Copies of this chain bind each other. A is one copy, B any other.
Amino acid sequence: MVKKNDSLERCFCDVIHEDVVRKVKSKMPKEETLYDLAELFKVFGDSTRIKILWALEEAEMCVCDIAALLNMTQSAISHQLRVLKQAKLVKNRKEGKVVYYSLDDEHVRAIFQQGLAHINE
């Protein structure tokens, strides 16, 4: 295949569609924004975390409650809650030994709804 730039192989479509590609390129958000968006959806891309978020939408719960609800170990839940907290999707408050987690974002429900709308097509 013909080399048309210094790094990657190209096809002739690029030349034909050059204006379209340039237009789309100019409208793309910043690389960093798209990366952050992917990182956010990556957090949603695990069924354990989805379950935790869905549960916390119903009620504030402590770590072992969630573990019992999902029939998983406390350790596994704790690890996932850490991921969710880093993504600023959940927050927690401490009451003695017990740490209660709750949702920290009003978009979670909307994101779930849109996702479900796609699945139920």
Q: Give the B-binding residues of A (Cβ under 8 A).
A: 7-11, 13-14, 17, 20-21, 23-25, 27-29, 33-47, 49-51, 54-55, 58-59, 61-62, 64-65, 67-69, 71-74, 88-89, 98, 105, 107, 110-112, 114-119, 121
Contact = CB atoms under 8 A, between A and B. Distances in A.
Nearest to A64: B11
Nearest to A7: B71
A7 B65 CA distance: 15
Contact of A50 (B37, B45, B46, B58): B37
Contact of A45 (B20, B24, B42, B64): B42
A115 B64 contact: no
Q: Is the interface of A mostly helix, strand, loop or mixed?
A: helix
Contact of A21 (B14, B49, B61, B116): B61
Given A7-B71, A58-B27, A44 B34 contact: no
B47 A44 contact: no
